[in-house]
């Protein structure tokens, strides 16, 4: 059974710091992995999608990597800003023919001005 | 801002009542998935519709049902509401059921009293 874990659960950093959010999953057979951002009480905003054949994806100050064999993904945020404060969720789509995403519980990030 | 629209944004229902939530998918997207997100948790998969057919279902009882229309918009119906059904309900649309990026709406906050 696929399980997704995100560590740390919460993180507080000063503005300008580079930071790494971690996501681990128990079954390496996945179709893809997607990172999302969620502001309090709001829906999910897609940040990056990594297909199982890819190692990383980049968008602006964000870089996501995928290591399927070790069951890990990281989201790197460069030069953090107060506007980056949100909960970041990682979701994997298992390769077992099911169509659902399995989510972690998220990392709640606070960037201090 | 995605093209996925959910209505209503908030509603309050009494235990035992029935509720219908609506989702308009992004233009050109033929796949809609529904998720339930309890406070402080990651979203949990309810079901997915692809070209008007249910394409997969999570661990939710039959009183959770859905529909997809020819224009690919979708409804989530919940009968015999229970207090534990209080959650944020999220709709996601994608171009295909599996290997494509999912775009989420802003969610419907359901409170059952």
Query: What is the DSSP code (8-state) at residue A82?
Result: G
**Tokens 């001005």 sit on residue:** A113
What are the tokens at A58?
Answer: 């980049």
- What is the predicted pLDDT for the residue at A45? 95
Q: Which of B44, B99, B107 shows the shortest C-beta gap to A42?
A: B107
| Mean of per-residue pLDDT scores for chain A | 94
Q: Is B43 part of the contact surface with chain A (CB cutoff 8 Å)?
A: yes
Cβ atoms of B69 and B52 within 8 Å: the answer is yes
Mean pLDDT computed over B44-73: 94
- Residue A96, pLDDT above cutoff 80: no
Alpha-carbon distance of B101 to B97, in angstroms, equals 10
**Residue A97's pLDDT band (cuts 50, 70, 90):** low
Q: Which of A41, A51, A89 shows the shortest C-beta gap to B42?
A: A89
Report the run of H or E that residue B11 belongs to, with start and end.
strand B10-13
What digits encode the pLDDT tens for the residues A34-62? 999 999 989 999 999 999 999 999 999 99
What digits encode the pLDDT tens for the residues B6-45? 999 999 999 999 999 999 999 889 999 999 999 999 999 9
Q: Is A78 helix (H, G, I), strand (E, B) or coil?
A: coil
Q: Do A99 and B56 touch (CB under 8 A)?
A: yes
CB crowding B46-70: b at 16 or more within 10 Å, else e = bbbbbeeeebbbbebeeebbbebee
């Amino acid at each position: 059974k696929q399980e997704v874990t995100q560590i740390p659960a919460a993180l507080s950093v000063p503005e300008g710091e580079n930071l790494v959010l971690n996501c681990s999953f128990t079954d390496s057979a996945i179709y893809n992995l997607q990172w999302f951002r969620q502001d309090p009480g709001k829906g999910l905003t897609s940040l990056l999608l990594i297909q199982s054949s890819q190692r990383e994806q980049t968008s602006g100050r964000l870089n996501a990597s995928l290591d399927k064999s070790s069951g890990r993904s990281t989201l790197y945020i460069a030069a953090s800003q107060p506007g980056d404060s949100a909960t970041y969720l990682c979701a994997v789509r298992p390769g077992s023919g099911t169509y659902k995403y399995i989510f972690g519980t998220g990392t709640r990030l606070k960037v201090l001005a | 801002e995605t093209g996925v629209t959910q209505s209503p944004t908030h509603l309050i229902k009494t235990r035992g009542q029935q509720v219908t939530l609506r989702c308009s998918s992004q233009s050109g997207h033929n796949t809609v998935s529904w998720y339930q997100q309890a406070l402080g948790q990651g979203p949990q998969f309810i079901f997915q519709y692809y070209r008007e057919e249910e394409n997969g279902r999570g661990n939710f009882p039959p009183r959770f049902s859905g529909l997809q229309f020819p224009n690919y918009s979708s409804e989530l119906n919940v009968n015999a509401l229970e207090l534990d059904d209080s959650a944020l309900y999220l709709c996601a649309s994608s171009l295909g059921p599996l290997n494509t990026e999912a775009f989420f709406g802003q969610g419907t906050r359901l409170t059952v009293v």
